[in-house]
Structure 1
Amino acid sequence: MEFSFINEVDGSMVKKFLQRHGVSKRLLAKVKYEGGQILVNGVEQNAIYRLKAGDQVSIVTPDEPDNPDLTPGTAPVDVVFEDDHYLVVAKPAGVPSITGVYHPTDAMSNRVKGYIKRQNYANQTVHIITRLDRDTSGLMFFAKHRYAHALMVQSHYRDSLEKRYYAVVKNDGQLADHGEIDLPIGRAEGSIVQRRVRLDGLMEAKSARTSYRIAEESEDFYLLDVRLHTGRTHQIRVHFSHLGYPLLGDDLYGGSKEEFSRQALHCHHLSFINPFTEEKVELELGMPEDMRGLLEAKIQPK
Structure 2
Amino acid sequence: MKPFQLTYTAEHSGLLREALGAWGISKRTLASVKYGGGQILVNDQEVTVRHVLEKGDAVTVIFPNEEHGKGLLAEDGYLDIVYEDEVLLIVEKPPLQNTIPSREHPFGSLANIVAKHFNDHGIPSTLHIATRLDRDTSGLVCIAKNRHIHHMISQQQQEKKMKRRYEALVHGQIDKTEFTITAPIGRKNTSIIEREVREDGQFAETEVRVLQNLQGYAHVSLQLNTGRTHQIRVHLAHIGHPLVGDDLYGGKRDLVNRQALHCTEIELIHPVSGEPLIFHSSLNHDMHSLL
Same fold (TM over 0.5): yes
Map 1:75-114 to 2 at 5 A.
Answer: 75-114=77-116
Distance 2:172 2:219 in 1: 9
Map 1:221-236 to 2 at 5 A.
Answer: 221-236=217-232
Shift in CA distance, 11/213, structure 1 to aligned 2, threshold 3 Å: closer
Report percent identity of matched pairs: 38
Query: Does the aligned pair in 2 maintain the 1:167–1:264 contact within 8 Å?
Result: yes
Q: Secondary structure at the match of 1:154?
A: helix
Residue 179 of structure 1: CA displacement?
1.4
Query: Does the aligned pair in 2 maintain the 1:64–1:145 contact within 8 Å?
Result: yes
Question: 2:133 aligns to what?
Answer: 132
Question: 1:192 aligns to what?
Answer: 192
Query: Does the aligned pair in 2 maintain the 1:168–1:224 contact within 8 Å?
Result: yes
Query: Does the aligned pair in 1 maintain the 2:90–2:142 contact within 8 Å?
Result: yes
Distance 1:186 1:261 in 2: 26
Query: Does the aligned pair in 2 maintain the 1:181–1:239 contact within 8 Å?
Result: yes
TM-superposition CA deviations, 1:165-212 (whole Å, max 9, x none): 11101244x4312211111112222111111112xx23xx01111111
Question: Scaled by the length of structure 2, what TM-score is found?
Answer: 0.93
Shift in CA distance, 156/89, structure 1 to aligned 2, threshold 3 Å: closer
Kindly tell me the number of residue pairs found equivalent between the two proteins: 288
Q: Secondary structure at the match of 1:160?
A: coil
Query: Does the aligned pair in 1 maintain the 2:211–2:220 contact within 8 Å?
Result: yes
Distance 1:38 1:96 in 2: 38
Residue 158 of structure 1: CA displacement?
4.8
Question: 2:211 aligns to what?
Answer: 215
State whether structure 2 residue 53 is matched by structure 1 residue 57. no
- AA partner of residue 68 (structure 1): K
Distance 2:59 2:140 in 1: 35
Residue 140 of structure 1: CA displacement?
0.6
Distance 1:146 1:242 in 2: 36
Distance 2:177 2:67 in 1: 50
Query: Does the aligned pair in 1 maintain the 2:210–2:220 contact within 8 Å?
Result: yes
Q: Deviating runs (4+, > 6 A) in structure 1? A: none
Distance 2:179 2:8 in 1: 44
Cα RMSD between the aligned structures?
1.7
TM-superposition CA deviations, 1:79-128 (whole Å, max 9, x none): 0111111111101111111222222232211111111112222x231111
Flag structure 1 segments of 5+ consecutive residues without an equivalent.
Answer: 296-302
Question: 1:180 aligns to what?
Answer: 180
Q: Secondary structure at the match of 2:61?
A: strand
Distance 1:157 1:195 in 2: 21
State whether structure 2 residue 240 is matched by structure 1 residue 244. yes
Residue 58 of structure 1: CA displacement?
1.0
- AA partner of residue 131 (structure 1): R
- AA partner of residue 258 (structure 2): R
Residue 230 of structure 1: CA displacement?
1.1
